[in-house]
Amino acid sequence: MRSYILTLNCPDRPGIVNAVTGALLEVGGNITESAQFGDADTQTFVLRTVFESDRDESAVGSALEDVEARVDGRIRVRPADRVPRVLIMVSRQDHCLLDLLHRRRTGDLPIDVPLVVSNHMDCADIASRYGVEYVHLPVTTDSKAAAEVELLALVETHRIDFVVLARYMQVLSNEVCRALAGRIINIHHSFLPGFKGPRPYHQAHARGVKLIGATAHYVTVDLDEGPIIEQDVARVSHADSPVELATIGRDVERMVLARAVRKHAEDRVFLIGAKTVVFP
């Protein structure tokens, strides 16, 4: 028996789940997990179903082709054990990178990481410890365009499923944002929509907030405006300097980013307009 993850996105209407479960019965599918949501605003229906079957991938796929046509939507099925290939981008700060790579090693995160890309050399040592190739792509005003071309080429040649900006401090061009739409996750070190842009911990300190946060979101051409996947906060006090906020914040950042990466890697996140559906 093999385990498969099915995801479906289609216009909402009666009969969808019946059609899908009917097709799964045909291939001897036994559902082990299922979650669904109908979005009232857009009349969109999304479904994530995990099932076991003794048929191979193409048999399963064929059985669902009919359904896809009937529900006028898009069905994807993949073996649960074929984990996504992730390219991680970092700058100087290493806490998110170390966290992701260690979770990957212990098996907590179901991803492969063939490549780390950075505009600095600071994190090369960590990548090397975890046996991951490290590509140094320096970014200057002059080199940025070429660096981005190379980045997209790396995504292509390494068959990358999605990109994670693990405290990557460069703004990507609109071209890259569009090329990787829905496949690139950023961690921003504030509780969005508060404190967009640079130096959010300094902004938080100046405003005197009593909680700081972090937000994992898909990258879009509008800086820090992309669909939010996960957020969390930590309590701070008047006594905390911006440096101490950053120290406290690093824990929130890495936890929030790890949760978002896991959700995306397990196909639990669906994009509906500018928002996400995230299944538990």
Q: What is the DSSP string of 136-167?
A: E----TTTHHHHHHHHHHHHHHTT-SEEEESS
250 lies in the site for its own copies, by CB under 8 A: yes
Near its own copies by CB under 8 A: residue from 84, 227, 245, 253:
227
Q: Describe the chain by its helix, strand, coil percentages, rounded to 5.
A: 35, 30, 35
Scored b (16 or more CB within 10 A) or e, 113-151 reads: bebbbbbbeebbebbeeeebebbebebeeeebeebbeeb
237 lies in the site for its own copies, by CB under 8 A: yes
Strand partners for 215 = 188, 231
Q: C-beta of 127: minimal distance to its own copies in Å?
A: 13
Q: Which position among 122, 224, 251, 267 bears the catalytic label?
A: 224
278 lies in the site for its own copies, by CB under 8 A: yes
The residue type at 102: H
The region of 22-30, 143-151, 165-173, 180-188 touching its own copies under the rule CB under 8 A is: 22-30
Q: Which is nearer to its own copies, 84 or 227 (CB)?
A: 227
82 lies in the site for its own copies, by CB under 8 A: no
The region of 17-25, 59-67, 75-83, 141-149 touching its own copies under the rule CB under 8 A is: 17-25
Q: How far apart are CA 277 and CA 270, in angstroms?
A: 5
- 191: left (phi > 0), else alpha (psi -120 to 50), else beta? beta
Our answer to whether residue 224 is catalytic in this structure is: yes
Q: C-beta of 10: minimal distance to its own copies in Å?
A: 14
Near its own copies by CB under 8 A: residue from 82, 92, 136, 210:
210
Q: C-beta of 243: minimal distance to its own copies in Å?
A: 10
Q: How far apart are CA 99 and CA 160, in angstroms?
A: 20
Looking at residues 96 to 135 of the shown chain, list those that interact with its own copies (rule: CB under 8 A). Answer: 98, 102, 106, 108, 129
Residue of 8, 174, 154, 167 whose CA lies nearest to 76:
8
Looking at residues 160 to 179 of the shown chain, list those that interact with its own copies (rule: CB under 8 A). Answer: none
Q: C-beta of 57: minimal distance to its own copies in Å?
A: 19
141 lies in the site for its own copies, by CB under 8 A: no
Binding site for its own copies (CB under 8 A): 13-15, 17-18, 21-22, 24-25, 28-40, 95, 98, 102, 106, 108, 129, 191-195, 207-211, 213, 227-233, 237-239, 241, 247, 250-251, 255, 272, 274-278, 280
* Residues with catalytic function: 224
